[in-house]
Structure 1
Amino acid sequence: MSEQEEVQEITHPGPILRAARDELRLSIDEVASQLHLRPSVVAMIESENYHDFSSDVFLKGYFRSYCRLVGLHEERMVELLERQLTVIVEEKRQLDKQQADEKLKAKRIHLMKLTGVAGSIVVVCALLVWTLIGSENEHELEQRSDSSLESPGAVVEPPAAPEEVAEENDSVELVLVDEKQSAAETLGETSAVTDVAIQSSNLDAEDQSSESQPVDEVSALSNQDQPQVRGTISITFTGDCWFEIYDDQDNRISADLMRDGRKFDYEFSTALRVVLGDASVAQVFVNDVQYDISSYVSTTGRAEFTVE
């Protein structure tokens, strides 16, 4: 084994746990039985396959239990684990950034292609419209020129006599005088009606103001609604199990490594989200009725469900 491989094993907690287990001559099944975990979870910890763990809290809880079982220093091992998790998170962040940059680049290229196609379509449409308008204008000019050549000359009427012009002016003046008189009469009637309407509206306003009485304002303090208890939840543990519970606002109510024989009781007024590290050692009762969680159990034995 080269020096680089030895340094890698020292700085990676998974091989250290596996070596400690081999030194104690324990199998993966025996370790899983003593830790109340599935053998696949123990294998994932030793192979440093942390992607299947939903949160670092569960991983660190299992890791500490494993270290205590094989007699390793918990804090030093957890420090190595945190360094490794930091590297994994940084690699994932860089990978996500690279993928996001590639998607953005592809999106820009696609947008440029669409812009080019749209510009080409606009240019083609403009050329077609310009061609159609030009042909219509030429056709209209040809029609106008043909109609001007075919139409006869305009007929000029002789000027009217002076006597006829004077009679027409007199009739126009009489009509204007009559229209002015009728307009003045109409204006007088309208102003009279408007004055009467204004006086009546003022009288109505005075009557309303005299009849209106002040109304006492009644203010009452509304009692603040107190949260009502929906029900109770009770969880009994028959083995070691990491346990978390959150309310509907995702605020953590409790989180702890529950031992064999411990029990959790809680009265809730909102929906609850419950997370169990090993559902096989937990019995859930909602309103004193056993709650079936078998459909929420994953391949690693972890269960996450919501209680309404």
Structure 2
Amino acid sequence: MSKNKESELEVAELSEDMEMIGPGVMLRDARIKLKMSQEDIALRLNFKISLVKDIEEDNLDKSLPATYNRGYLSSYAKVVGVDKEDVLASYDALGAAHIQRSEMQSFSKATAKQAEHSRLMWISYFIVAVLIGLTVMWWVQESRDKPKALPTAAEPSEITKVSEESDTLTIAPKLSPEGETEKQQLSSQTALEEKSTDTAVTVQEAVPESSNQSTDLQQQSSNEQATTLESVAIETNALTDESTAVETSSIAVFTFAGDCWVNIFDATGERIAWGVKKAGYVMTVTGVAPLKVTLGKPELASIEFNGEPVDMSAFNVGNIAKFTLPLSP
């Protein structure tokens, strides 16, 4: 049973409890006991028959002032011998009952509207909840359907770093054709000529801070030299079979009194030594003469070429020295 029906039943029960004898019923019963007709009352009181009927049916004109209606009831009560006070009290009670019924009906209507409003609110809440649920489901589905992000490419700085490390660890190149050899020699000479005295000093200052790295480079240089020598020996033998002239190797011994940067190529374009050499380091290199030598600080190096000492006094202190072995007369 809905709340609206329950409210209507409560109003009906209260209305039944408020049923009472109206003034019209009291006057009608008294008239009937006196065996008088409505026409007799109308003649005695000079009323219209319709007014007598309205009085007996408690259907007095509400547009008239209450004083007029009370006067009609008092006159009717006198004719039929009913206590006027009882009739007027019944009239007042009947008016109060009507007011209470109206109030109860208004309350019933308000309750019904409130129940209807409550139902609408619950329906609205349900619709909103369904929309939220559908939105969440759609979002989850979209998240699942999205392709996974592709791995990001390596940063340029990382690529550069790897490239630099690869260049550092690369073993010396093998023998090249004469055209490429001359090109490499010219490129190396051009790059070295662009270095200034400040560059040599900067290299000298940076070396003590990375002594461990220099030691590693020396070890690596020794290993690479051994590998290079083996490669040169194998390929030189192959070239010897094809060439008409046999090239002889020269030996140069470098002794360093301080940290010095060095870069050496032989006549075939093969780089046979490079890097920073520490103080006290003795380096022996073998290659096809003439050897093209670049020293960062020539005053820190003493050289023997094929067992003969090399005069280094011709090179300026603190400047990069570039020369060939044997020295030109």
**When the two structures are superposed, what TM-score results if normalisation uses the length of structure 1?**
0.35
**When the two structures are superposed, what TM-score results if normalisation uses the length of structure 2?**
0.33
Between structure 1 and structure 2, the one with the greater Rg is 2
